[in-house]
Structure 1
Amino acid sequence: MKNTLAILASATILATPALAEELAVVGSWSNLPLYQDFETPFWTEQLSELTGGEFTAQLTSFDQMGIAGADVYRMLGDGVFDVGSTVADYTVGDAPELEGLDVPLLANTPAEARAMVEAARPMVDDIMRERFGAQVLGIAPYPPQVVFCKGEVASIADLEGKKVRGSGRMTTKFLEALGAEGINVAFSEVPGALERAVIDCAVTGAGSGYSAGWWEVSDTLMTLPLGGWDSVVIAMNGDRFDGLSAEQQEMLSNAVAEGLEGPAWDAAEGGLANDIACLTGEGECASGEAASMMLVEPSEEDVATAREILTAEVLPDWASRAGAEWITRWNESVGQSVGVSIEQ
């Protein structure tokens, strides 16, 4: 009898699948498409499917937790949760070298932006390990960061003297070089700030601005990508990642690439055209009701002026904060991919 029970017990253990690794995941802004359309279905449904039940996740977002985007990687490194996602530019106070991931005005298409990210990835991997003790799982884009203004704006020269909310430190430096006043306003507070004339303009992704209703309190949309693509780094606590087997590490990394990172980049193709149509009413809006903002596309003069300010003032300013090692690495990776070199 004892032998029979032992055999049955062994058979039961063998027939029972191993318990899944459950991950505590903190995602990006909960009211924007990246979280709603990509992060949520991936972490709550596709992760388990893509890993054969090896991983599951409990998902929330940093704004639902009531923490600032700038605190996500710091808390991730402290082990408060297993996986965290936020805009890389939010954390440059802790890691100024991360600004090199999303330099404005260098990528005008999703393909160009993705090529920049792929070139920067080895550098970002090292930065996240050194600064936050975190392992990069993927990097996903928001839409290109364009300019929403209350009132008429015909060119970037018209931003001179205006109070403008930037989307990152490089963008703010660029605005100041134009003669604008860079104002620090949280994304969620922008509509109220525009309505009360605390700011005249604000920079964010076209789709993000549409989803957040910025078109209700602004009149003009300038499509020059002053803020880059606001790349979101998806990272895992390094100790937690290192505690997985090599097979689990590969499985999780591949799942993020296939189920979250890849689809987000694929959706960026054609996404800007839809976002502009939704904001201006010029074209078909597949996302909902179209607004009627005035569309201002950059002139050749605007582009030339912006590039000159970027190379003469913005990038040298970043170089002074990031340090020689990281600038050399940027020149040899991202810089080569876009044909720009920062002098040291």
Structure 2
Amino acid sequence: MKIKSSLLALTVALTSTAATAEELAVVGSWSGLPLHKQYEKPFWDEKMPAASDGGITANLTTHDQMGINGGDVFRMLGQGVFDVGMTVADYAVSDTPALEGLDVPLIAIDAASAKVMVDSARPLIDDIYKDVFNAKVLGVAPYPPQVVFCNAEIASLSDLEGKKIRASGRMTGKLLEALGAEAVSISFGEVPGALQKGVVDCAVTGAGSGYSAGWWEVSTHLMPIPLGGWDPVVTAINLDKWDSLSAEDQALIEATVKSDLEKPAWETAQNALATDVACLTGNGDCPSDKRNMTLVEPSEADFSTAREILVSKVLPDWSERSGGSWGKRWNETVGKATNVEIPLN
């Protein structure tokens, strides 16, 4: 009788544990890039299960492994196709131009100021993901600053005039057009072929992303000016799934994303840029194979020109396209934190 009672108690305990265990279907960002390999994958495969004593696990893949477009990730997340989605916010701006306000070019020239910009934008981003994508934002991690790769000789920002350039986001495209370039929309994976065939003269992406994807094989010049901002990657969970979790699980997931995914990604972002530039150009210390792209250092005049165009043309255009009170809200949050103000009518 005692043995039967013990077995019954063990069965009840195991059944209870199984009932409270959560396996989340998670779709990460680009599988071949450092953010996924160094931070997203270890987080979902190891750190989240460890933090929850195995109570929260993940079935992890990425949007490129699934064969879906990056712009569809948050749309599908809202529909409940999977539980957690992680991808570049700029991929989803076709659903709402207001989302462009998360990552404005040229405001943040280092990781610390980029973190300030993203943190100040969180109230806006939280509302957008709830209202547009039926999702709860768990965290925002950076790619390194989005810099300019050219398969053409350039010596300054003015040399981009007249060139066809792949933009990393819509606001970057507007900035490039204001500089006299032709902004071209091409997916990340199609860029090497486009550079090689002359479909575009230049392209904007993170230095590390360009290195990992072999852009140095089809481009000659690198200008490390953050014309594409920092391309933040948002981690969000389907709101219905989120509401189904216990308060304890919700608190644990949010805290662990912040400490074990967001925090380390931001801490290494600045040094990663310097290392990536060194690897691409051969100038400086590089833990991998050095390449020999020509480094084009932007001048103070380059920064001044681009910044003036951003504030006088690009941001007012964004505010008008977004409609409503988004420009005012941006001024009161991001603008206040970064000392940039959109001129509003």
Structure 2: where are the runs of 5+ without partners? Answer: none
Instruction: Give the secondary-structure state (helix, strand or coil) at the position aligned to 1:128.
Output: helix
Q: CA deviation at 1:261?
A: 1.1
1:23-55 CA distance string (max 9 Å, x none): 000000111000111111111111100122220
1:231-259 CA distance string (max 9 Å, x none): 00000000000111111100011111111
State the distance in 2 between where 1:304 and 1:316 align: 18
State the distance in 2 between where 1:7 and 1:201 align: 70
Q: CA deviation at 1:326?
A: 1.7
State the distance in 2 between where 1:24 and 1:61 align: 11
Partner amino acid, structure 1, of 2:267: D
User: Could you say which residue in structure 2 is the equivalent of 1:86?
Assistant: 87
1:317 pairs with 2:324: no
**After the TM superposition, which residues 277-292 of structure 1 pair with which residues of structure 2 at under 5 Å, given as runs?**
277-286=278-287, 288-292=288-292
Task: Please say which of residues 320-329 and 21-30 is displaced more in the overlay.
Answer: 320-329
Do 1:51 and 1:255's aligned partners in 2 also have CA atoms closer than 8 Å? no
Instruction: Give the secondary-structure state (helix, strand or coil) at the position aligned to 2:275.
Output: helix
Do 2:312 and 2:343's aligned partners in 1 also have CA atoms closer than 8 Å? no
1:173-205 CA distance string (max 9 Å, x none): 111111111111110111110100110000000
User: Could you say which residue in structure 2 is the equivalent of 1:9?
Assistant: 8
Q: What is the alpha-carbon root mean square deviation over aligned residues?
A: 1.3
Instruction: Give the secondary-structure state (helix, strand or coil) at the position aligned to 2:325.
Output: helix
State the distance in 2 between where 1:132 and 1:100 align: 16
Q: CA deviation at 1:151?
A: 2.1
Partner amino acid, structure 1, of 2:222: L
Do 2:164 and 2:181's aligned partners in 1 also have CA atoms closer than 8 Å? yes
State the distance in 2 between where 1:7 and 1:54 align: 24
Moved over 6 A (4+): none
State the distance in 2 between where 1:243 and 1:13 align: 23
Instruction: Give the secondary-structure state (helix, strand or coil) at the position aligned to 1:120.
Output: helix
Return the TM-score normalized by structure 2. 0.97
User: Could you say which residue in structure 2 is the equivalent of 1:300?
Assistant: 300
Q: CA deviation at 1:343?
A: 2.2
Q: CA deviation at 1:5?
A: 2.8
1:181 pairs with 2:182: yes
User: Could you say which residue in structure 2 is the equivalent of 1:156?
Assistant: 157
Return the TM-score normalized by structure 1. 0.97
User: Could you say which residue in structure 2 is the equivalent of 1:328?
Assistant: 328
Structure 1: where are the runs of 5+ without partners? Answer: none
User: Could you say which residue in structure 2 is the equivalent of 1:114?
Assistant: 115
1:337 pairs with 2:340: no
State the distance in 2 between where 1:187 and 1:8 align: 56
Do 2:279 and 2:291's aligned partners in 1 also have CA atoms closer than 8 Å? yes
**After the TM superposition, which residues 68-147 of structure 1 pair with which residues of structure 2 at under 5 Å, given as runs?**
68-147=69-148
State the distance in 1 between where 2:297 and 2:204 align: 15
